[in-house]
Amino acid sequence: MSPVTSRRPAAGFTLIEVLISISLLGMLSTGMLLAIRIALNSQRKATAKLMENRRVMGSERAVEEELNSFMPQMAILGNGQKVPFFDGEAQSMRFVSSYSLNQAHRGLPQLLEFAVIPGDTGGFRLIVNEWPYRGPSMAGAFIAGVETGKDGQMHTVFNPVAVGANSFVLADRLAYCNLLYLQYIPQDHQWIWRPDWESQKWPVAIRIEMAPMDGAGNGAKLHPMTITAEIHAARDMAMQYHD
């Protein structure tokens, strides 16, 4: 008898094994893609939050610099009358500062116009206009005139603040934004924060109070803050009308 030749099966994978391998590889690839997408989304959110926090901190520092760099200046009206250039209202404020958003302390002094206006998506926003300050005559263009108030004192009447494409948004979606001015009453020995300014002296200090609509719990948004700057100019305004 001839010897029986034994045959061993060829090495390889069955069709079922190949299908299972492909399925597992597909599931693994899908899981990896989902993990990568989640990681990228988290990174984008973290980056957006960081940029928002930096913007908020930058705006806060800018406002502090603008207030701390207050410059007492006079304005000359069309009739040649000289008046102190300072406008302090509950929702707007004007003065001259040596600080510029674009050039910091390196550029020309700036005539600043702050205004609290309604936001596009609700709440309020704080904006500022910057104009290179070119002297008292230029400042006089922002003033409508001078009138005598009920208290018998002269009061400067300013034109409304114009909001345009060049207005810089310092803070948005605010629940409130209050502009306040510190006055000392000698006869009463009291310090009073006023929502408007009609005294014939420069305010002792300026304060801006604001808080976000969404509350302090939203990490990427503005937290409630108070910015206060002392004004180093306590001269009698009325005396300057005759300088």
Sorted by where each begins, the domain ranges of the chain are 42-240
Lowest mean pLDDT among 27-36, 110-119, 162-171: 27-36
**pLDDT tens by residue, 52-108:** 544 555 667 888 888 999 999 989 998 888 888 999 999 999 999 999 887 777 888
CA 175 to CA 210: how far, in whole Å? 7
The pTM assigned to this predicted structure is 0.70
Predicted pLDDT at 154: 75
Residues 139-165, mean pLDDT to the nearest whole number? 85
CA 73 to CA 233: how far, in whole Å? 10
CA 243 to CA 235: how far, in whole Å? 13
Query: Which residues does 84 contact at the CB level (< 8 Å), separation at least 6?
Result: 72, 73, 74, 75, 156, 202, 237, 240
Residues 14-24, mean pLDDT to the nearest whole number? 78
